[in-house]
Amino acid sequence: MMPLLAIAALAALTYALRIAGPLLADRVSVPAAAQRLFTSAAAVLLMALAATSALTAGHDFAGWARPAGVAVAGLLAVRRAPFPVVVLVAASVTALLRLAGIH
Amino acid sequence: MRLQWRTDLLSDTALVRDVALVCLADGIVGVSFGATAVAGGLPWWVPVAMSLLVFAGGSQFAAVGVVLAGGSPLAAVAAGAVLNTRLFPYGLAVSDVISAGGSGGSGARTRRWAARLTGAQLVTDESVAFALRHTDPARRKAAFWTCGAALFTVWNIAVPLGVLAGSAMRNTAAFGLDATFPAVLLALALPTLTDGRTRVAALGGAGAAVALTPLLPAGLPVLAALGGLAALWRPRRRPDADGAGDSQAVRRPAGHAIPVRSNR
């Protein structure tokens, strides 16, 4: 479940991160190293989420259709395909594989 | 004068076109977010409230993903908040755009604060990227507010549409809807893997998260992946080991000034 409190907490944290910059701009500057760390942390989290949500369902393997669709979409993303194409291809490949009996 | 006017017109048309393309892409992501959330069993108001209040697509997907995998709300909030730390340097980068106001007078001061409070909510990967494409203050301002306001509108229309679609579909697995979520995350992550060490950290972290999924409570494997950041720690002690200049802008080919296509 996702209680309202959790949504409110995430919203408040997010807004605080957003408004802090404009409020502190005259007084602070983020060191380049810290800025790189933010970027890297986001990259690590996104990749971990992408991998776990592609490969696992609950505590188990998600089956082949989903990771296959995601892999094809990832290839397209690497080749700089437009975002809508990436999303639609992921769904289509997975749906077609399932239609063909591959789960 | 006439030439100036035409240049402005051309650039505004380009701005509107680019913003429209970004909105289209994010609209599809929003539909997929709303549909995924309700198809996974969350009540309709969860994706809708998140889209209005959090308005950061990546973290919305992250938080909902953790919850749908069975993770605790705390882990969900942590994952979403970590993803959004990048909004802080973004806010610094566009503070001039958000805070710029008239001079003097209490009315001007009120407007300045209203712009600040509203503008802050519109800080996203896309709006910041659009603002940073320009150096002229007026252009920066126009780009930021146009993109931010358009995205906020489109996102909050797309997500409820996705909720409707997700509720209407009986068997979302047959449509491959579950594959859109990881695909979106992957498409968001790939452009950020600009340097080798981030790539090592991200791939190591992802591998660790998958390996830990059968063992740890849901939500924790993803957070454990942040341990992959340790891969960045060691070389940082040597200044200049970073590959000369290290700035992403240096390495990116010209014309890719936008850091990430869609990362909210």
- pLDDT in tens for each of the 264 residues of chain B? 444 544 555 567 888 888 888 888 888 889 989 998 998 899 999 999 999 999 998 899 889 988 988 889 999 999 999 889 889 988 988 888 887 655 567 788 888 899 999 999 999 988 998 888 888 889 899 999 999 999 999 999 999 999 999 998 877 788 888 888 888 888 878 887 888 888 999 999 999 999 999 998 877 888 899 888 887 765 545 555 444 444 433 333 333 333 434 444
Q: What is the mean pLDDT of residues A39-55?
A: 88
Report which of residues A56 and B102 the model is more confident about.
A56
* Number of CB atoms found within 10 A of residue B55's CB: 24
Closest partner residue to B205 among A17, A18, A47, by Cβ?
Answer: A47
Of the candidates A28, A33, A70, the beta carbon closest to that of B182 is on A70
Residue of B nearest to A40 (CA): B198
Give the residue from chain A lying closest to B28, CA to CA. A84
Q: Is the pLDDT of residue A98 over 90?
A: yes
Among the partner residues B89, B174, B175, nearest to A38 by beta-carbon distance: B89
Q: Looking at the complex, report in whole angstroms how far the Cα of residue A102 sits from the nearest Cα belonging to chain B.
A: 11
pLDDT, residue B74, reads 93
Q: What is the 3-state secondary structure (H, E, C) of chain B?
A: CHHHHHHHHHHHHHHHHHHHHHHHHHHHHHHHHHHHHHHCCCCCHHHHHHHHHCCCHHHHHHHHHHHHCCCCHHHHHHHHHHHHCCHHHHHHHCHHHHHCCCCCCHHHHHHHHHHHHHHHHCCCHHHHHHHHCCCCHHHHHHHHHHHHHHHHHHHHHHHHHHHHHHHHCCCHHHHCHHHHHHHHHHHHHHHHCCCHHHHHHHHHHHHHHHHHCCCCCCCHHHHHHHHHHHHHHHHHHCCCCCCCCCCHHHHCCCCCCCCCCCCC
**pLDDT for res B249:** 37
State residue B171's pLDDT score: 79
Q: How many domains does chain B have?
A: 1
Q: What is the mean pLDDT of residues A36-41?
A: 81
- Please indicate whether residue A102 or residue B181 has the higher confidence score (pLDDT): A102
- Closest Cα in chain B, distance from residue A64 (Å): 11
Domain that holds residue B53: 2-178
Inside any domain, residue B218: no
Quick check: is B124 in a domain?
Answer: yes
ipTM of the complex: 0.88
Q: Is residue B47 part of a domain?
A: yes
**Among B17, B68, B77, which would you mutate to test the A interface (most chain A Cβ atoms within 10 Å of its Cβ)?**
B77
Contact A94 B214 (CB under 8 A): no
* The predicted structure's pLDDT at residue B29: 84
Residue type, B142: A
The pLDDT value recorded for residue A57 is 85
Q: Is B196 on the interface with A (CB under 8 A)?
A: no
> Does some domain include residue B90?
yes
Q: B163 lies in a domain?
A: yes
- pLDDT band at A75; cut points 50, 70, 90: very high
pTM (predicted TM-score): 0.76
* Per-domain residue ranges of chain A: 4-99
| 3-class SS letters over chain A | CCCHHHHHHHHHHHHHHHHHHHHHCCCCCCCHHHHHHHHHHHHHHHHHHHHHHHHEECCEECCCHHHHHHHHHHHHHHCCCCHHHHHHHHHHHHHHHHHCCCC
